[in-house]
């Protein structure tokens, strides 16, 4: 389903979410880690934004 670039983007989302949770010193990483592929798919393939 994902090629190397897609998997790198998903892993980056996961890493950034872990950093945000660690910096806030609050929260649970379960949802961001599990929902990263879904969020990436929505933003990259379905949501179209022209700022």
pLDDT in tens, 7-29: 999 999 999 999 999 999 999 99
Residue 1: pLDDT over 80: no
Residue 37: pLDDT over 80: yes
Q: Which residue has the tokens 């022209």?
A: 50
For residue 22 the two structure tokens come to 């660690």
What pLDDT is recorded for position 51? 66
Angle between helices 30-41 and 4-24 (to 10 degrees): 140
User: Per-residue confidence at 40, pLDDT binned at 50, 70, 90?
Assistant: very high
Name the pTM for this structure. 0.82
d(CA 7, CA 20): 20
């Amino acid at each position: 389903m994902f090629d190397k670039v897609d998997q790198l983007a998903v892993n980056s989302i996961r890493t950034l979410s872990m950093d945000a949770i660690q910096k806030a010193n609050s929260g649970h990483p379960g949802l961001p880690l599990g929902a990263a592929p879904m969020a990436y798919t929505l933003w990259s393939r379905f949501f179209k934004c022209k700022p």
